[in-house]
Amino acid sequence: MKKAICPGSFDPITNGHLDIIERASKVFNELIVGVVVNPAKKCLFSVDERVAQIKNVVKDLPNVRVEKFSGLLVNLMNKEDARVIVKGLRSVSDFEYEFQMAAMNNKLDPSKETVFMMTKTEYCYISSTSVKQVAMLGGSIKGLVPEEIIPEIIRKFNSK
């Protein structure tokens, strides 16, 4: 398959996200990790920090590129000439939400398809929100996020 986009806020990127990115990079010739700019969402990291973190952890995946975007995902897809959206699923509740998003994206542009990838079992309980909660309360986030970004997460909470 040609080109796909794996969108998300990635605040921060987790090992579950990275698992989906690595696996999708083996399915598609080119994978774009689309880091969404959402002014309505209060993020721990700025979009530029998130882009830099992801670039750092995917640097050994030559067919993966990281781009920030705002607005509709289908607009980014048209700009990048991509037809496929890759979304990771951890649970049935993820599916319900992502199914609605997939239907909306297909309504906006019927030429776009969504591919769902199930996360590996060892990552099914990890979310960016839970990582931030554990870090905020001083717990260990080792094994939850890529090792390279642990100091950045800890630094954010120590500076608050």
Q: Number of structural domains, the chain?
A: 1
Active site residues: 17, 41, 90, 128
Single out the residue of 34, 39, 47, 117 nearest to residue 80, CA to CA.
34
Each residue of 24-72: pLDDT tens digit? 999 999 999 999 998 788 899 999 999 999 999 999 999 999 999 999 9
Is 124 annotated in a binding site? The answer is yes
Task: Flag whether 31 is marked binding.
Answer: no
**Amino acid 160: pLDDT:** 63
Q: Is the pLDDT of residue 129 over 80?
A: yes
Element (H, E) at 102: helix 92-108
Peptide bond into 12 cis (omega under 30): yes
Residue with tokens 């199914």: 99
Host domain of residue 31: 3-159
Is 68 marked as a binding-site residue? no
CATH of the domain at 17: 3.40.50.620
